[in-house]
């Protein structure tokens, strides 16, 4: 079967679905849901079919739209090119789209104008899928624009609340600044190279950077930085993730900011091949470290669940950028693995947040509590997500963070640069702070005392729980089966990032890369067996025995395990201890926790409060100032 | 085809030595020694050394009451999860240069496994629904944030000193290096790191002055307030096993390879059982000494800190010590 059409069909299918939903689906709920389900499933199936040829057989799919093939070695048409790196991100995208669509059916049922919602949703999906599939840098920009505007409109979808409109406005302004930089950069590139094809740009730019192309690099770097919401472009992200419907927040953190990361990798690794320069590595690692630290400390200060998760998205992207910036096989693999894991566990956490919002009507940590008895399944899913993001073994966050620590320290030892060792230290500390902030959420939302107004809360419907269970299962699976995951998905993807020859040759005919003086580099095989199968066997044996112990003896010890069944029967024996005071609702909420930490960091938080002013002018200024810094930096180090 | 002997070996390692049973027995013994020595330091007679063991078995037979506000499943499972991860950790840490399994077990795995008992305590306490536990888990978490920073820097210093080929944090490399070059603590550059590690141990275990999370006199044992019967016994056991794990970790990092010279040559079914027993005994003896130095003495000499002072102490003084080592090692000492 000729499958080179599949990526184009998947992308166009999603756009087609967007129009069909608007035309046929605005009245009938069933028609609308069927259209959305069919088109997202088709896109997912088409892309997943390509996993075998691309990932396992190492084929690179190139497809010229309308059969506009290169003339005299110059690409004139739009080409789609799916190498292993694109495929890796395409997997993340289709997975997120499908799960979010399934979740939306029930989650969004109380909203009006759902036709518009699904139209925008499919536009966003198609744009991000197109972005990772395209081999043309202007087409990439078009997709970035569609993505940004669909995302802005979805942020403001629940437009009854002023704060949602404000969030969308901030996203719009800062996002447009980023798009503007990207477009300027692309224009400069076209001016210099007379081509927009990424493979061709790569072969032309390799080893001959001029001031104009360096300027283009700096501008596009800023542009993709804005799209991936790294510090200092992160401020609108927190508002946007919080205001958007949760199914969309999940899409934002699952694929929209990954699209920025993808653009960043494509830019520095493939188009400019700038990663051999140590200063660029240090710049990326520095940005990553700052991003992860600011993200997590800001998250610790939040008292709204979705906003907290938004800051964690920023922080986790910091890990990805740090690892990507190392430019070693272990680093890139770890970074991509963490990107995958972030999609899984952050998606899961956002879905759980959505479930809480759906069931309890609020995500304010100071007004929730004791929901684990009302929503036990959501609670379990949330705990799995929280342990994954905090990197507790055996969940997936641990596997990827382990690789990132190893990679940063390996870099530190091989280069003798202590800076990378501090990256390791920061990454570990940030990981512990991540754990802290999820302990806070767990305590504030699921455990503790249940307020009177939440007594009637019920578990969410099955179609909302299904994506949650799938995500939770994938979180555990990718943590345990990291070896297979590495062999089949991560190794080809990181290889594609580090080796550009295959990408160029597939698009422009074999030998092009060699004639441009680009040779294949030998990518070291990553050895990351932090835990061998025997150890797993031991662990499972112990857990099995422990579980048996609980089941057999836990219930039948000489004493009895007692808990009163009815809620009326709260006598002294089963009541919580209140030191003799009358039993009342006294819940230790989210804002009450971690006082010792907050006290010591109060100066830092005051500064951060000043920076996150909520004023869009400041944010736009920060973006422009960062662009200026990047331009100066790159001129200094590259020329 | 399952290899029967290998399976039996794994089961023995997991359940008897150095897994669950050894961890339990040695841990409770260390806890008893700690109490006895503390009492002698305070001019009391003190309980018998076996007292923590008696307490543990007594608690196992008591009635367990689950409060009405608690999430029963999480509440009951938390102490078990904590104990499992502690027992698993004993399989990773070399005892007398010998590891229960010879994989690429490394310090980062240990770092994360160490967080699990603390998380189990936090989640269990949180699941009990008590506001006292709420305060307690908040403090436990802040304590954890305080000691993780110096701990990772100590690990990095050790890893750099050893300079393994690819997996920098592997125990095998650390032990082999120490067999070749003498114990790590004999290196001048590593002495600050060893001091930092000695200060991290009491915070990790949660003994005075770093027992803010359980502070009996203020918040009635914080996370443990609602626990009774078997789960409470398990949590007490976890604290005791943590003493063994942390002191073993210290031994592996700074005193590794001391007992690896023991070779009696007596074997049984191809296993050098006498060697293992001797090494384990010496190992526990060293652990007892470290317990007395790092936990009992400090306990006897100080009063409980406030949580913000604890955090500041670890992020300045202890981190400073660890950093001195890291920088010294980095510039080639």
DSSP-assigned letters across all residues of A304-359: BHHHHHHHHHHHHHHHHHHHHHT-SHHHHHHHHHHHHHHHHHHHHHHHHHHHHHHH
Cβ of B71 and A373 within 8 Å? yes
Burial class from Cβ neighbours inside 10 Å (0-12, 13-18, 19+) for residue A295 reads buried
In a domain, A467, yes or no: yes
CA distance B293 to chain A (A): 27
- % chain A with pLDDT above 70: 88
Residue A525: the pLDDT is 67
CA atoms of A144 and A228, how far apart (whole Å): 11
CA atoms of A451 and A347, how far apart (whole Å): 27
Q: Which residues of A touch B141 (CB under 8 A)?
A: 435-436, 439-440, 593-594
State whether residue A293 sits within 8 Å of chain B by CB. no
Cβ of A577 and B225 within 8 Å? yes
Q: Per the structure block, which two tokens stand in for B68?
A: 């009405």
Residue A16: which pLDDT band, with cuts at 50, 70 and 90? very high
Cβ of B69 and A398 within 8 Å? no
Domains identified in chain A, total number = 1
CA atoms of B215 and B199, how far apart (whole Å): 19
3-state secondary structure of A440: helix
Using an 8 Å Cβ cutoff, are A347 and A254 in contact?
yes
A634-637 long-range Cβ contacts below 8 angstroms, 24+ apart: A634/A214, A634/A215, A634/A217, A634/A218, A634/A221, A634/A280, A635/A211, A635/A214, A635/A215, A635/A218, A637/A277, A637/A279, A637/A280
**Between the CA atoms of A442, A443, A445 and A451, what dihedral angle is there, to the nearest 10 degrees?**
160
Vertex A319: Cα angle to A393 and B190 (nearest 5): 70
Asked if pLDDT for residue A366 goes beyond 90, the answer is no
Identify the residue with better confidence: B173 or A125. Answer: A125
Residue A79 host element (H or E): strand A79-82
Instruction: Name which of B137, B107, B139, B105 is nearest B124 in CA terms.
Output: B137
Using an 8 Å Cβ cutoff, are A359 and A465 in contact?
no
| Alpha carbon distances (Å) from A44 to A48, A93, A125 | 6, 9, 11
The residue segments making up the domain with residue B105 are 4-330
Cβ of B101 and A534 within 8 Å? yes
For the stretch B2-25, pLDDT in tens is 567 766 777 777 777 777 788 888
For the stretch A274-310, pLDDT in tens is 777 888 889 999 999 999 999 998 888 888 888 889 9
CA atoms of A237 and A520, how far apart (whole Å): 38
CA atoms of B220 and B228, how far apart (whole Å): 13
Cβ of B139 and A549 within 8 Å? no
State whether residue A632 sits within 8 Å of chain B by CB. no
In a domain, A544, yes or no: yes
Q: Which residues of B touch A442 (CB under 8 A)?
A: 123, 126
The interface predicted TM-score of the complex, written ipTM, equals 0.88
Residue B67: the pLDDT is 78
Mutate to test the interface with B, among A299, A404, A538, A573 (most CBs of B within 10 A): A538
The residue segments making up the domain with residue A419 are 275-480+527-549+586-593
Least confident of A225-234, A385-394, B157-166, B278-287: B157-166
Residue A557: the pLDDT is 44
In a domain, A516, yes or no: no
In a domain, A455, yes or no: yes
In a domain, A322, yes or no: yes
3-state secondary structure A114-152: HHHHHHHHHHHHHHHHHHHHECEHHHHHHHHHHHHHHHH
Among A392, A443, A535, beta carbon nearest to B119: A392
Residue B222: the pLDDT is 78
Residue B270: which pLDDT band, with cuts at 50, 70 and 90? low
Asked if pLDDT for residue A566 goes beyond 70, the answer is no
In a domain, A470, yes or no: yes
Asked if pLDDT for residue A630 goes beyond 70, the answer is yes
Residue A41: which pLDDT band, with cuts at 50, 70 and 90? very high
Asked if pLDDT for residue A548 goes beyond 70, the answer is no
CA atoms of A166 and A147, how far apart (whole Å): 19
CA atoms of A465 and A259, how far apart (whole Å): 27
Cβ of B10 and A541 within 8 Å? yes
For the stretch A162-201, pLDDT in tens is 888 888 999 999 999 999 999 999 999 888 888 888 888 8
- Read off φ and ψ for residue B118, nearest 5 degrees: -65, -40
Residues 226..285 of B with a Cβ closer than 8 Å to A: which?
A: 226, 229-230
Instruction: Name which of B217, B58, B108 is nearest A410 in CA terms.
Output: B108
| Alpha carbon distances (Å) from A14 to A569, A625, B98 | 55, 37, 58
Bond preceding residue A232 cis, omega within 30 of 0:
yes
Residue A462: the pLDDT is 83
Chain A CA closest to residue B312: A600
Per DSSP bridges, beta strands A561-562 and B64-65 are parallel
Using an 8 Å Cβ cutoff, are B330 and A418 in contact?
yes
Chain B CA closest to residue A563: B66
For the stretch B165-209, pLDDT in tens is 555 677 777 877 887 787 888 788 888 889 999 999 998 888 888
Task: Tell me the average pLDDT of chain B.
Answer: 82
Cβ of A409 and B168 within 8 Å? yes
Among B115, B148, B169, beta carbon nearest to A429: B148
Residue A338: the pLDDT is 92
CB atoms inside a 10 Å sphere around CB A12: 14
Residue A556: the pLDDT is 46
State whether residue A527 sits within 8 Å of chain B by CB. yes
Q: Which residues of A touch B330 (CB under 8 A)?
A: 418, 421
In a domain, A373, yes or no: yes
Using an 8 Å Cβ cutoff, are B22 and B10 in contact?
no
In a domain, A83, yes or no: no
Asked if pLDDT for residue B78 goes beyond 70, the answer is yes
State whether residue A462 sits within 8 Å of chain B by CB. no
Strand partners, A82: A61
What is the mean pLDDT of the segment spanning A25-30?
Answer: 80
What is the mean pLDDT of the segment spanning B133-137?
Answer: 84
CA distance B305 to chain A (A): 11
Residue A558: the pLDDT is 41
- % chain B with pLDDT above 90: 4
Burial class from Cβ neighbours inside 10 Å (0-12, 13-18, 19+) for residue B69 reads buried
What is the mean pLDDT of the segment spanning A399-415?
Answer: 85
């Amino acid at each position: 079967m000729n499958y080179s059409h599949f990526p184009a069909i998947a992308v166009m299918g999603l756009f087609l679905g967007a129009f069909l939903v608007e035309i046929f689906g605005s009245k009938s709920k069933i028609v609308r849901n069927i259209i959305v389900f069919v088109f997202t499933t088709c896109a997912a199936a088409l892309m997943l079919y390509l996993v075998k040829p691309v990932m396992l057989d190492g084929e690179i799919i190139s497809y010229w739209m309308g059969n506009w093939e290169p003339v005299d070695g110059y690409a004139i048409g739009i080409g789609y090119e799916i190498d292993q790196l694109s495929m890796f991100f395409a997997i993340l995208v289709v997975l997120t789209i499908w799960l979010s669509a399934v979740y939306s059916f029930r989650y969004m049922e109380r909203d009006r104008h759902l036709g518009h919602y699904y139209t925008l949703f499919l536009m966003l999906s198609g744009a991000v899928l197109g972005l990772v599939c395209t081999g043309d840098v202007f087409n990439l920009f078009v997709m970035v624009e569609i993505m940004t505007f669909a995302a802005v409109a979805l942020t403001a979808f629940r437009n009854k609340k002023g704060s949602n409109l404000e969030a969308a406005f901030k996203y719009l302004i800062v996002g447009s600044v980023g798009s503007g930089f990207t477009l300027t950069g692309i224009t400069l590139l076209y001016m210099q190279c007379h081509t927009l094809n990424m493979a061709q740009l790569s072969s032309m730019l390799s080893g001959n950077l001029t001031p104009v192309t360096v300027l283009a690099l700096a501008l596009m770097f800023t542009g993709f930085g804005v799209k991936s919401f790294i510090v200092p472009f992160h401020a609108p992200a927190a508002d946007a993730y919080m205001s958007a419907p949760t199914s969309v927040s999940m899409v934002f953190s699952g694929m929209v900011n990954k699209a920025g990361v993808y653009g960043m990798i494509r830019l520095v690794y493939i188009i400019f091949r700038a990663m051999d320069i140590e200063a660029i590595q240090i710049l990326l690692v520095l940005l990553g470290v700052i991003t992860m630290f600011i993200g997590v400390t800001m998250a610790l200060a939040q008292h709204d669940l979705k906003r907290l998760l938004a800051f964690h998205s920023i922080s986790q992207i910091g890990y990805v950028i740090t690892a990507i910036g190392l430019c070693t096989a272990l680093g890139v693999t770890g970074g991509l693995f963490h990107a995958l894991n972030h999609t899984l566990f952050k998606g899961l956490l956002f879905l759980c947040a959505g479930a809480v919002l759906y069931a309890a009507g609020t995500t304010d940590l100071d007004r929730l509590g004791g929901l684990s008895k009302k929503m036990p399944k959501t609670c379990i899913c949330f705990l799995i997500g929280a342990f994954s993001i905090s990197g507790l073994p055996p969940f997936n966050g641990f596997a990827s963070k382990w690789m990132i620590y190893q990679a940063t320290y390996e870099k530190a030892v091989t280069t003798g640069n202590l800076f990378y060792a501090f990256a390791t230290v920061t990454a570990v500390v940030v990981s512990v702070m991540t754990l802290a902030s999820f302990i806070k959420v767990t305590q504030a939302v699921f455990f503790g005392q249940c307020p009177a107004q939440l007594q009637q809360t019920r578990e969410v419907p099955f179609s909302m729980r299904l994506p949650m269970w799938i995500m939770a299962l994938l979180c555990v699976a990718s943590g345990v089966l990291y070896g297979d995951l590495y062999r089949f998905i991560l190794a080809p993807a990181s290889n594609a990032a580090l080796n550009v020859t295959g990408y160029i040759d597939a698009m422009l005919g074999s030998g092009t890369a060699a004639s441009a003086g680009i040779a294949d580099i030998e990518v070291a095989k990553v050895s990351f067996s932090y835990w061998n199968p025997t150890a797993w066997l031991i662990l499972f044996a112990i857990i099995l025995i422990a579980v048996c112990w609980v089941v057999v003896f836990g219930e039948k010890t000489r004493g009895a395990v007692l808990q009163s069944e009815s809620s009326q029967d709260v006598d002294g024996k089963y009541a919580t201890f209140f030191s003799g005071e009358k039993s009342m609702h006294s819940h230790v909420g989210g804002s009450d926790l971690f006082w010792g930490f907050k006290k010591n960091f109060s100066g830092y938080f005051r500064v951060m409060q000043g920076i996150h002013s909520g004023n869009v002018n400041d944010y736009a200024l920060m973006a422009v100032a960062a662009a200026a810094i990047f331009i100066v930096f790159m001129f200094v180090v590259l020329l | 085809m399952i290899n029967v002997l290998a399976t039996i070996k794994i089961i023995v390692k997991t359940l008897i030595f150095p897994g669950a049973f050894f961890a339990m027995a040695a841990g409770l013994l260390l806890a008893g020694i700690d109490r006895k020595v503390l009492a002698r330091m305070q001019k009391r007679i003190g309980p018998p050394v076996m007292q923590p063991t008696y307490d543990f078995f007594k608690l196992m037979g008591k009635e367990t009451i689950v409060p009405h506000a608690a999430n029963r499943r999480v509440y009951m499972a938390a102490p078990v999860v904590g104990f499992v991860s502690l027992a698993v950790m004993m399989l990773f840490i070399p005892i007398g240069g010998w590891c229960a399994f010879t994989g690429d077990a490394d310090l980062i795995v240990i770092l994360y496994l160490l967080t699990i008992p603390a998380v189990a305590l936090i989640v269990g306490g949180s699941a009990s629904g008590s506001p006292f536990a709420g305060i307690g888990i908040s403090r436990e978490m802040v304590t954890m944030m305080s000691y993780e920073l110096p701990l990772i820097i100590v690990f990095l210093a050790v890893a750099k000193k050893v300079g393994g080929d690819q997996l920098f944090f592997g125990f095998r490399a650390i032990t082999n290096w120490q067999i070749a070059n003498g114990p790590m603590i004999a290196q001048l550059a590593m002495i600050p790191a060893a001091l930092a590690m000695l200060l991290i141990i009491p915070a990790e275990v949660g003994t005075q002055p770093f027992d803010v999370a359980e502070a009996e006199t203020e918040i009635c044992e914080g996370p443990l307030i609602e626990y009774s019967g078997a789960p409470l016994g398990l949590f007490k056991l976890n604290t005791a096993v943590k003493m063994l794990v942390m002191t073993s970790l210290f031994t592996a990092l700074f005193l590794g390879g001391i007992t690896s010279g023991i070779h009696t040559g007596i074997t049984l079914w191809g296993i050098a059982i006498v060697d293992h027993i001797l090494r384990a005994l010496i190992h526990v003896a060293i652990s007892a000494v470290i317990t007395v130095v790092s936990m009992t003495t400090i306990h006897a000499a100080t009063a409980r800190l406030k949580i913000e002072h604890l955090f500041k102490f670890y992020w300045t003084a202890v981190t400073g010590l660890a950093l001195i080592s890291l920088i010294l090692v980095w510039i080639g000492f």
